[in-house]
Amino acid sequence: MNSKLKMFISGGVIGLVGVVLLILGNPGNMGLCIACFWRDITGALGLHRAGVVQYIRPEIIGIIFGSAIMAFIGGDFKSKGGSSPFVRFVLGFFLMIGALVFLGCPLRMIFRLANGDLNALIGLFGYVSGIFIGIQFLKKGYSLGKSIEQSQIAKYIMPIFGLVLLIFLVIRPAFILFSTEGPGSMAAPVIAALVGGLIVGALLQRTRICTAGGFRDLMLIKDTHFLFGLLGIFVFALAGNLIFNFDSFNLGFANQPIAHTNHLWNFLGMALVGLCSSLLGGCPIRQTVLASQGDSDAGITVLGLVMGAAFSHNFGLASSGAGPTSNGQIAVIIGLVVVSIIGYAVTRKSQLKVK
Amino acid sequence: MVETYCVVTFESTQHSLMFEKLLKDNKLGVKLMPVPRQLSSSCGTAAYVSCDEKDRILELTKINNIPISEFHILEVSKSGSILSKFMKK
């Protein structure tokens, strides 16, 4: 019980950080969203040219540093890798496409739900369904293989990338793009966002809270340890929104900020995210944290997310408030097929090994 | 006061499920759970088992060819304060 309470409170702090960042200026129901924030960074680097979603989100920099520092203190800062990197890249790529059709990663899904957006409930059903399908592969032996120790330099890559992003954010060179309108232009003050990210990164590294892990363990081994972290995020974010942010609380489907009401594609988009997350062993935020503590496989996954974000906007796959695009719908179907084939092929190979 | 408990870790989720079934079939106590924080920064699946049965468990996994990663014996301080638990880690 004690450990679950700890998870609940840690999640609660993350929920409150999200509410504070929302009040301080982040886009609607986007106090924290790992997929959206990586997408904004992708845009700021010029890898996609959607002018309304380009910004170097300090929250990501904070999460990288917070995780790396906490891992260093706890002795978890280690170079690891070599567990099917290219497969992980592809899974990260399609994960991002699914997230941008729904309009948010699983973390933002929780924050959307905590501000009354019921479209996120449809997304949650999709997400849990996707994880359920992933679990069937896990049960039959799916494993991307054991990671092994890598060269010492590997663990510094993500923190150095975070530092480079911070430098770009501060000196704003001409080749870095910053939105002047739209969600990319809406942001909490840099210092607040950095500090919020630091707190969230440190907590996530310590607690290992993962949106995919929470539901996976509930369904697979009937364990609620990680789920209490997710409940903490939801309950505290809901309470925070009701107390400090009541004007923006809007229970229902229609007129939600940066969301659409197409149930089918909200469901399927998040189903793709759930399937990819369970096959990767972690949702986007967990991948970001692991990458920051020296896990090269997670680092490659993050690059997959970035690549997915670039393609999503370059090919018109990402949804808007008006709804999903037909290109996006086709991409989600392709994603579900490709990822299922990956799940099947990896499972089949490991079954042969066990025999 | 220090409490001792035992945890088995695995390389894949499937191995943990096979292990759980093996122990249940042999009427041994087993409970799957997330890998304890002290052991790993990953969030995989481990099995909580009785320390008294260590030899029997290791023998069974060997005979039945169930791959396990490691058998850990953990000590947790039960002094009550959350701080002391953190210090222990």
pLDDT tens across A278-331, in order? 999 999 999 999 999 999 999 999 999 999 999 999 999 999 999 999 999 999
What pLDDT shows up at residue B89? 36
Contact call for A210 and B43, based on CB within 8 A? yes
* Residue A292, CA distances (Å) to A77, A162, B83 in order: 8, 9, 26
What pLDDT shows up at residue A240? 97
Express as a percent the part of chain A with pLDDT over 90: 95
Domain ranges, residue B82: 2-88
What pLDDT shows up at residue B83? 41
d(CA A206, CA A250): 33
Q: Looking up tokens 């880690």, which residue turns up?
A: B89
What pLDDT shows up at residue A87? 97
Residues 76-105 of A with CB under 8 A from B: 76
d(CA A74, CA A79): 14
Mean pLDDT along residues A71-79: 96
Instruction: State yes or no: ipTM above 0.90.
Output: no
What pLDDT shows up at residue B78? 60
Q: How close A16 gets to chain B, by Cα (Å)?
A: 22
| Chain A residues with beta carbon closer than 8 angstroms to that of B42 | 208, 281
Q: What's chain A's length in residues?
A: 355
Contact call for B41 and A217, based on CB within 8 A? no
Over 60: is that where the pLDDT of B80 sits? Answer: no
Contact call for A281 and B44, based on CB within 8 A? yes
d(CA A271, CA B46): 26
What pLDDT shows up at residue B84? 39
For chain A, the C-alpha Rg in angstroms (whole number) is 19
| Chain B residues with beta carbon closer than 8 angstroms to that of A286 | 43
Over 90: is that where the pLDDT of B42 sits? Answer: no
- Whether residue A114 contacts residue A302, with contact meaning beta carbons closer than 8 Å, is answered with no
d(CA A281, CA A285): 11
- Whether residue A26 contacts residue A19, with contact meaning beta carbons closer than 8 Å, is answered with no
SS percent in chain A: helix, strand, coil, step 5: 70, 5, 30
Mean pLDDT along residues B50-64: 93
User: Residue A175: exposed, middle, or buried by beta-carbon count in 10 A (0-12, 13-18, 19+)?
Assistant: exposed
DSSP β-bridge partners for residue B75: B4
Mean pLDDT along residues A191-208: 97
* Residue A94, CA distances (Å) to A270, A271, A322 in order: 11, 11, 22
Which has more confidence, A218 or B76? Answer: A218
Q: What is the number of domains present in chain B?
A: 1
pLDDT tens across A239-279, in order? 999 999 999 999 999 999 999 999 999 999 999 999 999 99
DSSP β-bridge partners for residue B34: B45
Backbone angles phi and psi of A206, in degrees to 5: -70, -45
Residue A162 has what DSSP assignment? H
Over 60: is that where the pLDDT of A1 sits? Answer: no
How many CA atoms lie within 13 Å of B25's alpha carbon, on the beta-carbon side?
10
Q: How close B17 gets to chain A, by Cα (Å)?
A: 7
| Chain A residues with beta carbon closer than 8 angstroms to that of B36 | none
Report the residue from A138, A213, A220 with minimal CB separation from B43.
A213
DSSP H or E run through B47: strand B45-49
Contact call for B12 and A142, based on CB within 8 A? yes
Say whether residue A205 is in contact with chain B using an 8 A CB cutoff.
yes
What pLDDT shows up at residue A354? 57
Contact call for B33 and A71, based on CB within 8 A? no
For residue B44, the domain's CATH number is 3.30.70.120
pLDDT tens across A185-199, in order? 999 999 999 999 999
Backbone angles phi and psi of A26, in degrees to 5: -65, 160
If pLDDT is split at 50, 70 and 90, which confidence band does B43 have?
A: confident
Closest CA relative to residue A272, chosen from A330, A189, A202: A330
Closest CA relative to residue A16, chosen from A88, A103, A132, A110: A110
Mean pLDDT along residues B25-43: 89
Chain B residues at the A interface, defined by Cβ less than 8 Å, are 11-14, 16-17, 32-34, 37, 41-45, 67, 82, 89
Task: Look up residue A276 and give its two tokens.
Answer: 């990819």
- Whether residue B45 contacts residue B33, with contact meaning beta carbons closer than 8 Å, is answered with yes
If pLDDT is split at 50, 70 and 90, which confidence band does B39 have?
A: confident
What pLDDT shows up at residue A69? 98
Closest CA relative to residue A203, chosen from A2, A1, A15: A15
d(CA A216, CA A32): 22
d(CA A105, CA A302): 13
Mean pLDDT along residues A63-86: 96
Over 70: is that where the pLDDT of B85 sits? Answer: no
